Amino acid sequence: MNRHNQSEDSPSLALVTLVVGSTAHKREAAIWATIANNPRSNRQLSDDAQPQVGLILEGLPDGKSDNISPQLSDTSFRIQRIAPGCLCCTGNLVLRVTLNRLLREHLQQIYISIADASHLDNLRLFLSQPPYDAFLRLEADLVA
């Protein structure tokens, strides 16, 4: 499958939002607020047969994250936590494995929460090149 042969509205492309912020709590709060206020996300969550939203959360929760979104069911999401560290400087291996697993589930939206925004451009470049360019469409970053 080649992205260049698909329309921009192709349902097979997962929309990806990179989320940056100073703490895990702020990043996760921004994600939950975006999901709760986005009509597209709400339609995706209404189909409880299969999760449509994936989250890759870098770093450990700070203990405040559990109370952010009690109204949203955990079964509505595919949530993966990865160890903190620069995703581009570590060769992207952990991100690559985690992202590949999520892509097999044909999610419509993926949020990638990163602790350090200093290499955000490198991460965007990585996600926009093959093989990911055929499966992902990068959206505007979310700053928490």
Convert the pLDDT of each residue in 55-75 to its tens digit: 998 877 766 655 555 555 556
Does any domain span residue 54? yes
Does any domain span residue 67? yes
CA dihedral 94, 137, 13, 115 (to 10 degrees): 30
Instruction: Determine which helix (DSSP H) or strand (DSSP E) holds 31, and give its type and residue range.
Output: helix 24-37
Q: Are 85 and 49 in contact (CB under 8 A)?
A: no
Note down the domain range covering 33.
Answer: 22-143
CA distance 54 to 58: 13
CA distance 18 to 111: 6
Summarize pLDDT for 73-95 with one digit per residue, the tens: 556 788 888 887 777 666 678 88
Does any domain span residue 10? no
Would the pTM of this model clear 0.75, i.e. be above it?
yes
Summarize pLDDT for 2-55 with one digit per residue, the tens: 444 444 444 579 999 999 998 888 998 899 889 888 766 555 555 555 668 999
Does any domain span residue 133? yes
Does any domain span residue 99? yes
Does any domain span residue 14? no
* AA identity, residue 120: L
User: Is the predicted pLDDT of residue 104 greater than 70, yes or no?
Assistant: yes
- Our count of domains for the chain comes to 1
Does any domain span residue 2? no
Does any domain span residue 65? yes
CA distance 48 to 52: 9
